[in-house]
Amino acid sequence: MTRPSAWFYAQKFLLKRLSGIALPKPKSILSAQRHSSFVTTSSPKRHDSMANTTINPPRDPNTLSNYNNWRTAHTTANLEILFEEQRLSGNVVLTLKSITHAESKEIFLDTSYLDISAIKVNGRSAEWALLPRREPYGSPLRISLDTGIAAEQTVEVVIYLSTTSSCTALQWLTPAQTSNKRHPYMFSQCQAIHARSIFPCQDTPDVKSTFDFNITSPLPVIASGIASPANPTVTPAPSTSSLYKFHQPLPIPAYLFALASGDIVTSRIGPRSIVATSPDQLSACVDELSADTESFLQAAEQIVYPYAWQQYNVLVLPPSFPYGGMENPIFTFATPTIISHDRQNVDVIAHELAHSWSGNLVSNASWEHFWLNEGWTTYLERRIQASIHGNDAWRDFSAIIGWKALTDSVEQFGHDHEFTKLIIDLKGKDPDDAFSSIPYEKGFNFLYYLEKLIGKDRFDTFIPHYFTVWKGKSLDSYDFKATLLDFFVGDKAVTESLAGVDWDTWFYKPGLPPKPDFDTSLVQPAYELADRWQTLTETNSPSSSSSSSSSSFKPHPSDIHPLSGNQQVVFLERILTLPQPLSPAHAALMGTIYSFQTSRNVELSSRWCQIALQAGDRSCLDAVRGLLGSVGRMKFVRPLFRALMRLDRGLAEQLFDTNRDFYHPICRAMVEKMLRE
């Protein structure tokens, strides 16, 4: 693996930061404080205060672990899934390597709401304490060692534990909450800092380890590793439990730890891919995903380099899953909203697959640099789509949709908000609060800008180099900049072009970046249809009915027949930005005449509901109730609640109370915060 040059570190050291955050030091002169999370002056006795412990995080402010002293080399999870008690119970074995020159005598790990019963170090009972909780990061677990451990030496730490009802990473579903209502279901979502609520760990993307999973459950299990050939292949009776084993040979951060268990069956969707889901959903999932998955893989390999994870599989989860997809290695966890029966939403799979390189192999060092995961992944996703369609216009088409999402997020936060920057300050903050389309789309636009600046052919030579240099590692934005400059140091034309990049503005300026000159050929038909609808708003007051319109435009079902599902999304997005909203009658007419009100494509039905709520069309409320009670994906839930709050805050609060147990804990917390605003 190629190591960055000395010039690389010299350039990194010279970078300026406008935000006042301390500049990372060159690795060649890096001292022990590089990864210092704790400096402790106390003796290794139990205590209930952190008064003697000073938090001084270097790159990741969202961990309480002392990963400056220790690095997790391997993690083994020996857990039993107890559905009736809604908890995991067992032990986790951490192999930790000392990385300091001085002997290490204390280990600090991240935990949150865990029930820990005992800890052993190298086979002997250890002294330990859970220190007071520090919101939003949980309770540091301090383990005291009898003797100091020299650099490069390892210890084996066995932690006996149980999750609790306050666990934020797990969602437990009753049979009634699943699609076929036969068995209970459990799944995890650990990004960003929720792995610590399943097991004590160094819950930072700056640390990676290999994993083994030994999971006992009465129902089939999926994990983010390669399944053992000895795993049960037939669904056991719910009254008995079986052992399921998985191995993850490539080092991954704790947030990619993933588990699911329920009434799950599988089918092949490609030569190196399977889909897993509920038996009643299997046929639809195979139909939706089998046509594109291997093509996506091959296209990505041509852009970067061969896929490293052996298998690429998809678990289609129950509808309360809060994201479009989660890039858990080996098994992407995906929302059922991608199964739209028209193959229009499988770009989610292209995105999560792209994470196999960006995020999983090469990871952001902290959530302050989240754009390195998501901006790169969005860039690769759109390159994959352009390759599949054989036309770069498809990339710009997707980017135009993304620009709308970016502008919405910036408007929601405010143009001067910290979270609208590319590099954000998360010290003392919950990374979930910053989650939005901004790191995805602003990050994409930065990479798109660099590609256009130096030329696509040259940028294409940088892509595999970047993912080779940082394979298996974590980096920050300054590492990225230095890697780019170092790679082109011998190319005078590119060096001169890069000299004109205003890095500080891109990294630290809040709000929208400059809008690229996108190819609009694929969005033009959608824009033209939206313009025709705009004539209805221009000739009528918001309360007017369609029958009194003097516009020559008469909506007809055939209007949208030439438009793909994603072009219809662009049309609906355009309607949402009209200077004057549709009248209630026109909003209702659109939902009926174009069948948006009953569409199985949630990308369409949810946007139409936003249009109708914006228009004040209360006839849409049954559709809104249906979506908010059956879809837990935050992409749809949050905008719908936001629009409903403007029309009828009381109803919004009522619907949230009705559905709160349906939503994943992450989604539930986000909506609760929104309702309190």
417 is in an annotated binding site: no
Q: How many CB atoms lie within 10 A of CB 388?
A: 16
DSSP-based three-state secondary structure for 617:
coil
Burial class of residue 260 in the structure, from the number of CB atoms within 10 Å of its CB (0-12 exposed, 13-18 middle, 19+ buried)? buried
Distance CA 3, CA 462 (A): 15
324 labeled binding residue: yes
Residues near 425 by beta carbon (within 8 Å), at least 6 away in sequence: 19, 21, 368, 418
Catalytic residue numbers? 352, 440
Q: Quick one: how far is CA 294 from the chain centroid?
A: 22
In one-letter notation, the amino acid at residue 454 is: I
Reduced 3-state DSSP string for 117-173 = EEEEECCEECEEEECCCCCCCCCCEEEEEEEEECCCCEEEEEEEEECCCCCCCEEEE
End-to-end CA distance of the chain: 49
**Best CA proximity match to 278, nearest among 152, 175, 129:** 175
Q: How many angstroms separate the CA atoms of 449 and 359, rounded?
A: 21
Give me the torsion for CA of 636, 639, 640, 643, rounded to 10°.
Answer: -170
DSSP reduced 3-state for 478: helix
Are 452 and 379 within 8 A, CB to CB? no
Alpha-carbon 493 to chain mean position: 37
The reply to whether 351 sits in an annotated binding site is yes
Q: Is 415 annotated as a binding residue?
A: no
Q: What are phi and psi of 520, to 5 degrees?
A: -100, 10
CA dihedral sign of residues 290, 295, 296, 297: positive
How far apart are the C-alpha atoms of 561 and 571, rounded to whole Å?
13
The single-letter DSSP state of residue 403 is: H
Q: Which residues of 447-474 are buried (b: 16+ CB within 10 A; e: fewer)?
A: bbebbeebeeebbeebbebbbebbeeeb
Whether 156 has a binding-site annotation, put simply, is no
For residue 674, say whether it is annotated as part of any ligand binding site: no
Burial of 657 (0-12, 13-18, 19+ CB in 10 A): exposed
Take residue 281 and report the two structure tokens written for it: 């959903």
The tokens describing 332, both together, are 């992407």
DSSP SS3 for 77: strand
191 belongs to an annotated ligand binding site: yes
Torsion angle defined by CA atoms of residues 272, 276, 282 and 284, in that order, rounded to the nearest 10 degrees: -70
Q: Both tokens of residue 106?
A: 């204390």
Does 189 belong to an annotated binding site? Answer: yes
590 carries a ligand binding annotation: no
Longest dimension (CA), the chain: 86
Decide: 582 and 533 in contact? Cβ < 8 Å.
Answer: yes
CA–CA separation, 539 and 584 (whole Å): 14
Say if residue 670 carries a ligand binding annotation.
Answer: no
- The verdict on whether residue 635 carries a ligand-binding annotation is yes
Q: Assess contact for 17 and 23: CB atoms under 8 A.
A: yes
Question: Binding site: residue ranges?
Answer: 189-191, 322-327, 351, 355, 374, 633-635
Question: Binding site for Zn(2+): residue ranges?
Answer: 351, 355, 374
Question: Binding site for a peptide: residue ranges?
Answer: 189-191, 322-327, 633-635
